[in-house]
Amino acid sequence: MSKSAKKTGKVREEVKKRSGLNKVSLAFSLILAVAIVSGALLYHLSLPRESGVKFSLKAIVVDQLSGDIQNQTFVDSVVKILSENGFSVTYHDYKETNVLFFRNLAKASYGIIILRLHSALRKDKPIVDFFTSEPYDPRKYVKEQEEGLLVKGTVSHSDKSYFAFTPKFVENLEGAFPRSIVFAMGCQSLNQTAGISMAEAFHRKGAAVYIGWTSWVTAPHSDAETVKLLKKLLCENMTVHEAVASTAKEYPYQASLAYYPASAKNLKMRDLKAEAEVKSSGITQKAAYKTFMCERWYWTAVLALSPPRPEAGFGGSHLLDLPVSTFLSPRRGGGPPEHRLPTSQSPHGGGGTLKI
């Protein structure tokens, strides 16, 4: 055998050996990469998970009364108290508070819901309904009217009518309230007979507590006591029972604030806020962990599967979009002009008589 033939044979043997080693190396690299990724995924799945709906540091002021009973001092005071206590606040006046607006109320995860609106006892049934600012039209929302979700409501001594929503309307809302505190500022909103059904509807949709008036109440009195109530809950850390008990009755109607359910008596705003902050912190930490681990999984797999490339550098990052809570100043306007409410002639400006 010639020298060149021997040399060629050796080269072939070396190529076969290298090819075999490369196959073994590739198989090992694949197994190693799968093991690393699987291990990291199993570890991630073993992390404790958030369970249940948590309180939200978002607040909304729904001012359906702003069309005929404006109180900018009330709005400014409420927004100031809420924002100073860590809430992002949105404000909606009468131009926006139509049926569609209330239909979407449970979708936005508001922890505090302040409903400054007309509410009234229904004449033929022991039920309290809440007014929208959308003029009544029997040709609109026919199905909702037939099913008892919407009714025709009229402010006392007024010849204009508006759509009013019922407890059944609240029960059928899409979404849920995140252990919210609902302040229902209108007349009879927690009438101890007729008003319970509305309170129950909000509670069944997730509200932790519903606070309202037991009888007729004037708008100025309701405004003043709601501001006082917020201060007691947020600034003085009173329980729901203590805060409600500290508010004044309305004379001569003998209306007082009450809350539902009774089991919420020892609830404190500080505990709800801590719950929301822990949830937010947990999300941030998990997102950061996922980002870091994703980088390690990806680059480990690249290193295991790719041949050495000294000229190639490694780097990069994965960014996650995290929810950021921002404060929104109260805004006015933004809705159709026909939603304006006429001036109520009722002596109790915060409510009216419902006509079905």
The 3-class SS string of the chain reads CCHHHHHHHHHHHHHHHHHHHHHHHHHHHHHHHHHHHHHHHHHHHCCCCCCCCCCCCEEEEEEHHHHCCCCHHHHHHHHHHHHHCCCEEEEECCCCCCHHHHHCHHHCCCCEEEEECCEEEECCCCCEEEEEEEECCCCCCHHHHHCCCEEEEECCCCCCEEEEECHHHHHCCCCCCCCCEEEECCCCCCCCCCCHHHHHHHHHCCCCEEEEECCCCCHHHHHHHHHHHHHHHHCCCCEHHHHHHCCCCECCCCECEEEECHHHCCCEHHHHHHHHHHHHHHHHHHHHHHHHHHHHHHHHHHHHHCCCCCCCCCCCCCCCCCCCCCCCCCCCCCCCHHHCCCCCCCCCCCECCECC
- Closest by CA position to 97, among listed 105, 89, 88, 109: 105
Q: What is the mean pLDDT of the chain?
A: 76
pLDDT band at 123 (very low <50, low <70, confident <90, very high): confident
pLDDT at 317: 27
- Which of 166 and 37 is assigned the larger pLDDT? 166
Residues 243 and 232: beta-carbon distance below 8 Å:
yes
Q: Which two tokens stand for residue 193?
A: 């007979």
pLDDT band at 335 (very low <50, low <70, confident <90, very high): very low
Interatomic CA distance for residues 314 and 302, integer angstroms: 10
For residue 333, pLDDT over 80 is answered with no
pTM of the full predicted structure? 0.67
Q: Residues near 277 by Cβ (< 8 Å), separated by ≥ 6?
A: 57, 86
For residue 285, pLDDT over 50 is answered with no
CA atoms within 13 A of residue 44's CA, in its CB half-sphere:
17
Architecture in CATH for domain 58-273+329-339:
3-Layer(aba) Sandwich (3.40)
Q: CB neighbours (10 Å) of residue 206?
A: 16
Interatomic CA distance for residues 88 and 110, integer angstroms: 10
Percent of the chain topping pLDDT 90: 57
pLDDT band at 34 (very low <50, low <70, confident <90, very high): low
Highest mean pLDDT among 44-48, 226-230, 279-283: 226-230
Q: How far is CA 226 from CA 17, 81, 115, 178, 264, in A?
A: 84, 11, 11, 21, 18
pLDDT band at 288 (very low <50, low <70, confident <90, very high): very low
Mean pLDDT calculated for residue range 93-102 = 98
- Which of 289 and 196 is assigned the larger pLDDT? 196
Residues 135 and 69: beta-carbon distance below 8 Å:
no
Interatomic CA distance for residues 233 and 223, integer angstroms: 16
- Closest by CA position to 269, among listed 59, 53, 62: 59
- Closest by CA position to 56, among listed 280, 260, 234: 280
pLDDT in tens, 54-80: 899 999 999 999 999 999 999 999 999
